[in-house]
């Protein structure tokens, strides 16, 4: 499932992050790439042990925990602390698939990457190129969202970031291990959840709401991994 999460971050959040990012030292993005990814990765990234990165990552996690659309779509069990990257002067990241497993820094906890998320921190008019291109069942989807918006998509998708030919593209990115591993099952649960919410809003006394809600939770009980 490919889903836009609008206004995950507020304008104030974006301004705070950008102010911090304007003052920090970036490192070559290849430092966190595997040997195959190193061949196609050309960007900059905050060091994983950056205090500024941890501060901004906590802000992103706080907003995630409050956004009903992300919670309904991702059904998060674990979220890897958000990371931050920068593309400029032709920076790009060629076709790749994200690693299956990540370690949470300074811990023995591993996160299975079921869902990838990119949060845009630059306004689209501030840079040329830089589209996140995701291959899915319906072909290639080129994504360039407003600052503060996020895109979530299956981590097993082939994807790339087109070269940034002018300006600067700033973003946060991270991975989520879902309670439900299979994307098709998450999609069904999300569609059912959204339908139940619409029915409850438009027909709050409808007698089938309780039964549909029960079906949702029984499917979640059947498919969830804890």
Residue 200 class from Cβ within 10 Å (0-12 exposed, 13-18 middle, 19+ buried)? Answer: middle
Nearest Cα neighbor of 203 from 214, 216, 212 is: 212
Report the C-alpha gap between 26 and 37 in whole angstroms.
19
Q: What pLDDT score was predicted for residue 207?
A: 92
Q: Which ranges in the chain are annotated with CATH 4.10.860?
A: 183-223
Asked if 126 contacts 115 with a C-beta cutoff of 8 angstroms, the reply is no
- Check: CB of residue 214 under 8 Å from CB of residue 117: no
DSSP letter string over 109-178?
-EEE-SEEEEEE-S-GGGEEE--EEEEETTEEEEE-PPTT-EEEEETTS-EEE--EEEEEEEEEEEEEEE
CA–CA gap between residue 135 and residue 69 (Å, rounded): 22
pLDDT score, position 34 = 65
Contact predicate 127/89, CB 8 Å: no
Intervals of CATH 2.60.120.620 along the chain = 3-178
Q: Measured in Å, how far apart are the chain's first and last C-alpha atoms?
A: 22
Note the pLDDT of residue 36: 66
Q: What is the pTM of this model?
A: 0.94
Q: What pLDDT tens digit does each residue of the chain (226 aa) get?
A: 999 999 999 999 999 999 999 998 899 878 776 666 678 999 999 998 899 999 999 999 999 999 999 999 999 999 999 999 999 999 999 999 999 999 988 888 999 999 999 999 999 999 999 999 999 888 899 999 999 999 999 999 999 999 999 999 999 999 999 999 999 999 999 999 999 999 999 999 999 999 999 999 999 999 999 8
Q: Across all residues in the chain, what is the average pLDDT?
A: 94
- pLDDT of the residue at 37: 67
Tracing tokens 């600052």 back to the chain, one arrives at 147
pLDDT at 212: 97
Q: How many CA atoms lie within 13 A of 17 on its CB side?
A: 28
- Identify the CATH assignment for 3-178 out of 2.60.120.620, 1.10.579.10, 3.40.50.300, 3.40.50.1220: 2.60.120.620
The confidence score (pLDDT) of residue 222 equals: 97
pLDDT tens readout for residues 113-134: 999 999 999 999 999 999 999 9
Q: Tell the CATH topology of 183-223.
A: DNA Excision Repair, Uvrb; Chain A (4.10.860)
Distances (CA, A) of 77 to 71, 80, 110, 148, 175: 10, 10, 12, 23, 11
- Say how far residue 69 (Cα) sits from the centre of its chain: 12
pLDDT at 106: 83
């Amino acid at each position: 499932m490919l889903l836009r999460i609008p206004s995950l971050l507020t304008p104030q959040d974006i301004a705070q992050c950008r102010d911090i990012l304007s003052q920090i030292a970036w490192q070559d993005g290849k430092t966190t790439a595997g040997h195959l990814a190193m061949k196609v990765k050309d960007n900059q990234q905050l060091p994983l042990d950056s205090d500024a990165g941890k501060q901004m990552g906590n802000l992103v996690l706080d907003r995630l925990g409050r956004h009903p659309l992300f919670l309904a779509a991702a059904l998060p069990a674990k979220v890897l602390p958000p990371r931050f990257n920068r593309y400029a002067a032709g920076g790009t990241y060629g076709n790749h698939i994200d690693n299956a497993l990540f370690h949470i820094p300074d811990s023995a906890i591993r996160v299975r990457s079921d869902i990838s998320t990119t949060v845009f921190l630059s306004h689209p008019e501030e840079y040329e190129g830089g589209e996140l291109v995701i291959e899915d069942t319906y072909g290639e989807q080129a994504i360039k969202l407003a600052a503060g918006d996020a895109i979530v998509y299956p981590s097993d998708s082939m994807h790339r970031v087109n070269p940034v030919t002018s300006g600067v593209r700033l973003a946060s990115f991270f991975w989520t291990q879902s309670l439900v591993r299979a994307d098709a099952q998450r999609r069904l649960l999300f569609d059912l959840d959204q339908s139940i919410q619409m029915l409850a809003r438009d027909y709050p006394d409808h007698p089938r709401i309780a039964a549909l809600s029960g079906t949702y939770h029984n499917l979640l009980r059947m498919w969830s991994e804890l």
